């Protein structure tokens, strides 16, 4: 009888199951309900999901006229089978409001809507688990503008996982300046999901005269950006060496290390995470070819290794942007998001044969950006995402 099975055996069996099955098992018994909702089980289940790379889902941010609008979800139980894409409402959804995905960490997606004016900013940030449609809105956090500086702008906002403290955090950096002058001061604040609060830190953004040339990526308990050192207000001065800037979420310190290339010519670059390693993508000639590099040993500049060169002839269409999403199980193929001005395609790129095969997914939007999640029950105690169409119908009925 199931009721006489050891708790350890039941826990081990349940930890191997996908999220949808676990949600159904809430109704089996009170003991199963308590077990599945327990924080220790949620952590175990997440560890199993990451370890086996199972219950994977693509979260697609649909883009219209260059601006993000709403999301789609595509579950793929195996690398050869992608389910139909279906529309997914996110917690900040409002008609006419533009919401963008900052980053995805494990099963959590951080989304952001803001307006920034001269004397104040209006933020809406949420951490969202799209597989169980639960979320938490971050509390509003004002900025403190120093006297004598009239303008402000978001220098960076990022999301990641603090390994040492088992906490998910959001970093917000606001720059203050006077028009026509270099950036003067920075306000750096960190939000903790565990404590549901913001805290100002004294650490300053270390590269005042630079251009951030990539989105942030989270790895090894730190946030990372690709930056090009330059003088923003004098465009006649050529860009200098490209480097990586990291922010350790535990020590709350910034550090800098080198990338795989020196920026001597016009380059298109971006930073991603692939196979648990920093991945640097270089486009030397605006889409003519793409070099993909991995940092084999974290923090060691000498460990950058080129794993492939994607040439124009290997892809049956032109592209301007390429984002590696994951390796296949045998690591002979890479799933790529390939994008041009108003069209995005997902393809499997075969490294040895230097060729691409398109991925067929029903109901896929034409233009989108991609984040990858694994299944987990994180934020099970969060608020429910409500379908706005159903909410409007209920209001009309009332």
Rounded distance between C-alpha atoms, residue 89 and residue 239, angstroms = 41
Tell me what the mean pLDDT of segment 219-223 comes to: 96
In the predicted structure, residue 121 carries a pLDDT above the cut 60: no
pLDDT at 370 over 90: yes
Q: Residue 144 pLDDT > 70, yes or no?
A: yes
The arithmetic mean of pLDDT across residues 65-86, rounded, is 83
Query: Is the distance from CB of 216 to CB of 131 less than 8 angstroms?
Result: no
- Say which range, 36-50, 123-137, 170-184, has the weakest mean pLDDT: 170-184
Kindly write down the DSSP assignment for every residue of 195-254, as one continuous string. TTEEEEESPPPS-SSEEE-S--EEETTEEEEEEEE--TT-TTSPP--EEEEEEETTTTEE
Give the least confident one: 19-28, 190-199, 261-270, 306-315.
Answer: 261-270
pLDDT for the residue 287: 55
DSSP 84: P
Give 207's pLDDT tier (boundaries 50, 70, 90): low
pLDDT over 70 percentage in the chain:
82
pLDDT of residue 243: 82
- 3-class SS of residue 41: helix
CA distance 161 to 192: 10
Q: pLDDT value at position 340?
A: 78
Lowest mean pLDDT among 119-133, 174-188, 316-330: 174-188
17 exposed, middle or buried (CB, 10 Å; 0-12, 13-18, 19+)?
middle
pLDDT at 51 over 80: yes
Per the model's pLDDT, the better-predicted residue between 265 and 140 turns out to be 140
Give the whole-angstrom CA distance, residue 51 versus residue 37: 21
Interval 146-168 mean pLDDT: 86
Whether the predicted pLDDT of 166 surpasses 90 = yes
Answer whether 209's CB lies under 8 Å from 201's CB: no
- At 377-396, the pLDDT tens digits run 999 999 999 877 665 555 44
């Amino acid at each position: 009888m199931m009721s006489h099975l050891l708790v350890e055996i039941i826990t081990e069996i349940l930890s191997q199951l996908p999220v949808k099955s676990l949600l159904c098992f809430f109704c089996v018994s009170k003991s199963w309900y308590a077990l599945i909702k327990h924080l220790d089980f949620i952590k175990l289940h997440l560890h199993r999901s990451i370890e086996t790379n199972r219950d994977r889902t693509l979260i697609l941010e649909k883009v219209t006229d260059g601006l993000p609008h709403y999301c789609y979800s595509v579950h793929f139980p195996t690398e050869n089978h992608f389910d139909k894409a279906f529309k997914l409402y996110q917690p900040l959804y409002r008609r006419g409001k533009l919401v963008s995905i900052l980053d995805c960490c494990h099963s959590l997606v951080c989304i952001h809507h803001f307006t920034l004016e001269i004397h104040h900013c209006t933020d809406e940030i949420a951490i969202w688990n799209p597989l169980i449609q639960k979320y938490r809105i971050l509390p509003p956090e004002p900025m403190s503008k120093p006297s004598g500086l009239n303008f402000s702008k978001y220098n960076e906002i990022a999301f990641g996982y603090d390994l040492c403290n088992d906490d998910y955090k959001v970093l917000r950096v606001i720059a203050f300046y006077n028009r026509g002058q270099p950036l003067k001061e920075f306000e750096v604040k960190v939000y903790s999901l565990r404590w549901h609060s913001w805290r100002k830190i004294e650490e300053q953004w270390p590269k005042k005269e630079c251009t951030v040339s990539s989105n942030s990526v989270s790895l090894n308990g730190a946030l990372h950006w690709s930056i090009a050192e330059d003088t923003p207000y004098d465009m006649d001065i050529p860009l200098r060496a490209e480097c990586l800037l990291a922010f350790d979420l535990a020590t709350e310190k910034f550090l800098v290390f080198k990338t795989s290339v020196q920026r001597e010519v016009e380059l298109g670059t971006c930073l991603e995470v692939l196979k648990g390693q920093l991945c640097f993508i270089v486009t030397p000639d605006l889409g003519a070819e793409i070099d993909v590099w991995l940092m084999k040993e974290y923090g060691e500049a000498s460990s950058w290794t080129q794993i492939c060169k994607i040439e124009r002839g290997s892809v049956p269409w032109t592209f301007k942007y390429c984002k590696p999403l994951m390796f296949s199980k045998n690591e002979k193929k890479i799933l790529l998001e390939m994008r041009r001005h108003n069209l995005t395609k997902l393809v499997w790129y075969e490294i040895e044969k230097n060729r691409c095969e398109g991925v067929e997914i029903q109901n896929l939007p034409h233009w989108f950006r991609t984040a990858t999640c694994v299944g987990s029950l994180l934020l099970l105690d969060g608020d429910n995402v409500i379908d706005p169409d159903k909410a409007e119908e209920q209001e009309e009925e009332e």
